[in-house]
Amino acid sequence: NFGADVYLMKGTHKFPLITKTQSNAGAWTIYGYNAQIPNVVGLSNIDTTMKFTNRSSLDTNIYFTLIDPDGTVATLDSVNNPSIASLPANSTGKYVASDLLALVTDPAFDKTGSISVEVSIPTTPSSVYGMASFKNKTLGQFKDLPVYNSGMSY
């Protein structure tokens, strides 16, 4: 289990086709379902709801990467944040943008406009289904947002 985003090698290491000496081996990513959701808003009058269904036979956690318009990144997950529900097998989890943004403590993170959200769920990718929509609470209107999966389709 590697907790780092980037694995730095020391010394010389041989991979099947290349040899690297004291260099960055690359970023580790979570195997499983990965999605990108643009134009997520978590304001008092407009809020985004995201739902993910885990149709696998395994319980799993969920990981969110929130990115503001300036590129400031905040990471949240169901492992370290008890208020974020994990995804038990054969269940659907509901996640509201304003609730997630309330957990972001970085003062540099801009919560006043739309953000981008990356979601990672470490289970069989084809067993996860996701949707997102934002709702104008004042007018009662909503709009579905695209949820791009790992293949950049939705």
Predicted local confidence at residue 149, as pLDDT: 83
101-120: b (≥16 Cβ within 10 Å) or e: beebeeeebebeebbbbbbb
Prediction pTM value: 0.79
pLDDT tens by residue, 77-113: 999 999 999 999 999 999 999 999 999 999 999 999 9
Cα angle for residues 30, 33, 34 (degrees, 5° grid): 75
Predicted local confidence at residue 21, as pLDDT: 58
Q: pLDDT tens per residue, the chain (154 residues)?
A: 444 444 555 555 556 666 555 556 566 666 789 999 999 999 999 999 999 999 999 999 999 999 999 999 999 999 999 999 999 999 999 999 999 999 999 999 999 999 999 999 999 888 999 999 999 988 989 999 999 986 444 4
Sequence-distant (≥ 6) Cβ neighbours of residue 108 within 8 angstroms: 70, 72
Q: 18: burial class by Cβ within 10 Å (0-12, 13-18, 19+)? A: exposed
Predicted local confidence at residue 3, as pLDDT: 46
Predicted local confidence at residue 150, as pLDDT: 65
Predicted local confidence at residue 113, as pLDDT: 92
